């Protein structure tokens, strides 16, 4: 129980301060840290990430940071595509799935390391022509063009597909995609990402539970601890140096991915 609480706190804390990384650490925490089988870890990881992200999203909504229309578009397509991802995963071996999971961690970490310092770049330093979704200066809301809607639809669909396949929240994809294709500021990106993660993760978890997955008492402890970690992370976020957090999370993810590959192929 104590180990589950510790790992859950870490997952929620990372999710709270990055808006992305908790989901990608939840499965390794349960599989590597606690010795669970991936099929048993999947629903617990999704519920932990879903409930924790939900808490963060509520905080973002309260502060008027969430672009809720964009989040609902992405989440609806993500939930629709999650079952397809789950069916694809059923046709793959456990070794292949864990390798894909490690690859996702490498990609997410690499993007963080390559993009260090970009968060401090002025918004007007990047040409508006490169952004598919732009804010309307007069209203502060996204301009809903065809290109913007298509971009959000693609992000949401891919997020749902990966959630179904790898049992992650999709934030490691959503956050960098938002940074690349919108001119939202980082606080808005994180808050919006958390709402999408919450909706997609809970949808995928509901599907898994309906198919017979179960959550043990230890799993509920992990979920509750992740929610507590989210609360602490959101409170501590304004006081923490973003660059240090970003680099630390990337290094941790690479180490976990390497260990996951070692356990999958050499043990």
The mean pLDDT of 195-218, rounded to a whole number, is 89
Work out the angle at residue 200's Cα, subtended by the Cα atoms of residues 245 and 57, and round it to the nearest 5 degrees. Answer: 55
CB-based burial, 175-208: b 16+ in 10 Å, e otherwise: bbbbbbbbbbeeebbbbbbbbbbbbbbbbbbbbb
Evaluate if residue 221 carries a pLDDT over 90: yes
In the chain, how many domains are there? 1
For the entire predicted model, the pTM comes to 0.81
Q: How far apart are CA 115 and CA 175, in angstroms?
A: 12
Confidence bin at 20 (pLDDT 50/70/90): low
What's the confidence (pLDDT) of residue 199?
A: 92
**Cα torsion angle, 107, 109, 114, 115, sign:** positive
pLDDT of 114-156, one tens digit each? 765 544 444 444 455 568 888 888 888 888 999 999 999 999 9
Structural domain for 83, as ranges: 2-265
Q: How far apart are CA 219 and CA 173, in angstroms?
A: 26
User: Partners of 133 in the beta sheet?
Assistant: 182
Please give the structure tokens belonging to residue 31. Answer: 């599989």
């Amino acid at each position: 129980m104590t180990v589950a609480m510790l790992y859950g706190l870490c997952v929620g804390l990372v999710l709270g301060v990055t808006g992305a990384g908790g989901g990608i650490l939840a499965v390794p925490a349960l599989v590597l840290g606690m010795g669970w089988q991936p099929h048993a870890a999947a629903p617990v990881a999704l519920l932990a990430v879903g409930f924790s992200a939900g808490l963060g999203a509520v905080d973002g909504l309260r502060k008027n940071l969430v672009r809720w229309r964009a989040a609902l578009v992405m989440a609806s397509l993500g939930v629709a595509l999650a079952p397809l991802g789950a069916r694809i995963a059923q046709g793959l071996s456990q070794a292949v799935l864990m390798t894909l999971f490690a690859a996702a961690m490498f990609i997410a970490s690499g993007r963080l390391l390559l993009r260090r310092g970009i968060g401090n770049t002025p918004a007007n330093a990047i040409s508006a022509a490169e952004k598919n979704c732009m804010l309307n200066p007069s209203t502060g809301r996204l301009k809903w063009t065809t290109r913007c809607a298509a971009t959000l639809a693609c992000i949401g669909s891919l997020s749902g597909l990966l959630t179904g396949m790898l049992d992650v929240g999709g934030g490691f994809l959503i956050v960098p995609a938002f940074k690349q294709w919108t001119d939202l500021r980082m606080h808005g990106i994180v808050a919006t990402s958390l709402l999408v993660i919450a909706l997609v993760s809970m949808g995928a978890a509901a599907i898994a539970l309906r198919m017979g997955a179960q959550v043990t008492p230890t799993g509920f402890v992990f979920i509750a601890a992740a929610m507590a970690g989210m609360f602490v992370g959101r409170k501590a976020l304004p006081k923490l140096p973003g660059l240090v957090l970003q680099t630390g999370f990337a290094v941790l993810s690479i180490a976990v991915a390497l260990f996951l590959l070692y356990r999958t192929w050499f043990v």
